[in-house]
Amino acid sequence: MSTDPTQPPAVGSATATPAPAASPPTTIHEAELASGASGGVIRGAEIDFGTAVARRQVEQDVVVCGDDLKANRRQAEQIESAVGPYVRSAPHKQSAGPRALPHFQQQEGSHEGHTFYETLNLRAMRRKA
């Protein structure tokens, strides 16, 4: 039995394989640093890419959320690179707190703010209602 590799498998075909699960999408949110001992990042309203770049241009924080570390990191890098030359920092809890997130920020130190991103173990905090 042969199959045409240019055609999708027929429905019900014995050779059909389940489609790979789509990567969960990243979402971008307004963000702010939490005060206190957590070192965490509080996520706010969901925003689009353009708004995220605009927030970073005025030195406010944003955070990229989702279950896919690489997708989060790529999205965060794209946001920060749209603002200017950037650097990346990784946290350690002693220096930034147990819930601190990795982030991109501008190379020029006088430009405030960060583009944070979630990892598998480090998540943004939701504001208490």
Partner 1 sequence: MNYFTRQRYLALQDRGDDAMDAADAAWAEAVARYETYLQTIRPEMPEAVRELLDGFYLHDARVLSMGRRGDTFVISLQLDVPPNELLTITYSLAGTPEIGQELFPWATAAVTPDWLYEEIERIRAGNERQFVHSILFSNGWEVRLPFRAVSMATAYPTFPCPRTPKPVPPASAPRSA
Residues forming contacts to partner 1 in the complex (CB under 8 A) are 30, 32-35, 39, 45-48, 50-51, 54-55, 58-60, 70, 73-74, 85, 87-97, 100, 102, 105, 107-110, 112, 114
Cα(89)–Cα(31) distance, rounded to whole angstroms? 17
Quick one: tokens of 98? 């147990």
Task: Tell the smallest beta-carbon distance from residue 55 to partner 1 (Å).
Answer: 5
Closer residue to partner 1 (CB): 14 or 117 = 117
First CA to last CA distance, the chain: 61
CB nearer to partner 1: give 10 or 112. Answer: 112
Secondary structure class of 49 (helix, strand, coil): helix
Q: How far is the CB of 95 from partner 1 (least distance, A)?
A: 4
Question: What would the two tokens of residue 126 be?
Answer: 């939701």
